[in-house]
């Protein structure tokens, strides 16, 4: 039996964050499971951009699995680094399905899937977001997929943990910026830190969050700082992905 771990990410064309986030998760899994690690992206646009701009070749999920099959691997653990079970996760699962009759494949869950994941994330940030005189606003990607419910649910979990100065918004889903700002304005706090609730710190974090969201908060009287730390850089988040893999390792 020949075993491999295939780490499946949406991907990023920002090389300054690629290895600090996706690469860091991959290294964590390599260290924990002592198994061959391979990389695949679900974004064809990013794969194309990296190839044409930098000469970097990244496999799609089905390309990676085909190579693993032809190389004699029989036991594959797929680790989606997606935030939730949304569009990109569904796409990855459809690609994986094609190989179920060729290899034994198990898939671990994305970052925010089960109720315990919400509690773990709140606990991680409870020890990081400690200034009660500051608002912390996470920016997630968001989606029209029903899994977008993860974002308002996470916001609720922060409030349930008495972290009433923490808000969760999204670029392309609910709650959006126009929803978050009025709630922020109901507080007496004028200092805000914006943070990406994304694995990598790419276009959305550097442009939507650090430019557009920052300006909008400032236009509403807030003093704004930006924390450009992708979730993949945080060791406790890396541990969550490792724990999710551990849950299917013996199956």
The residues assigned a catalytic role are: 141
CA nearest to 196, candidates 248, 245, 232, 247:
232
H or E element: which one contains 62?
A: helix 61-70
Cβ-Cβ contacts under 8 Å for 32 (sequence gap 6 or more): 242, 245, 246
Whether omega for the bond prior to residue 70 falls within 30 degrees of 0, making it cis, is no
Cβ-Cβ contacts under 8 Å for 132 (sequence gap 6 or more): 165
Do the Cβ atoms of 139 and 205 come closer than 8 Å? yes
Cβ-Cβ contacts under 8 Å for 40 (sequence gap 6 or more): 6, 7, 8, 9, 58, 59, 60, 61, 63, 64, 65
């Amino acid at each position: 039996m020949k075993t491999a771990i295939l780490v499946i990410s949406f991907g990023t064309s920002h090389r300054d964050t690629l290895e600090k986030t996706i690469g860091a998760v991959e290294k964590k899994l390599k260290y924990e499971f002592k198994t061959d690690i391979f990389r695949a992206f679900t974004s064809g646009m990013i794969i194309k951009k990296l190839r044409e701009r930098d000469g970097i070749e990244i496999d799609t999920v089905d390309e990676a699995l085909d190579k693993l099959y032809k190389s004699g691997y029989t036991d594959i653990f797929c680790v989606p680094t997606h935030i939730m079970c949304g569009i990109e996760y569904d796409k990855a699962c459809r690609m994986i399905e094609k190989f179920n009759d060729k290899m034994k494949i198990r898939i671990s869950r994305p970052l925010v899937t089960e109720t315990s994941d919400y509690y773990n994330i709140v606990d991680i940030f409870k020890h990081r977001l400690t200034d009660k005189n500051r608002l912390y606003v996470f920016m997630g990607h968001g989606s029209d997929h029903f899994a977008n419910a993860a974002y308002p649910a996470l916001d609720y979990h922060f409030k349930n943990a008495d972290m009433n100065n923490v808000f969760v918004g999204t670029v392309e889903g609910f709650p959006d910026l126009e929803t978050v700002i009025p709630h922020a304005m109901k507080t007496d706090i004028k200092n805000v830190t914006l943070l990406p609730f994304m694995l990598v710190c790419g276009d959305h974090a550097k442009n939507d969050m650090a430019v557009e969201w920052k300006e909008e908060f400032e236009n509403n009287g807030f003093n704004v700082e930006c924390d450009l730390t992708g979730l993949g850089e945080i060791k406790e988040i890396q541990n969550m992905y490792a724990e999710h893999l551990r849950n299917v390792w013996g199956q």
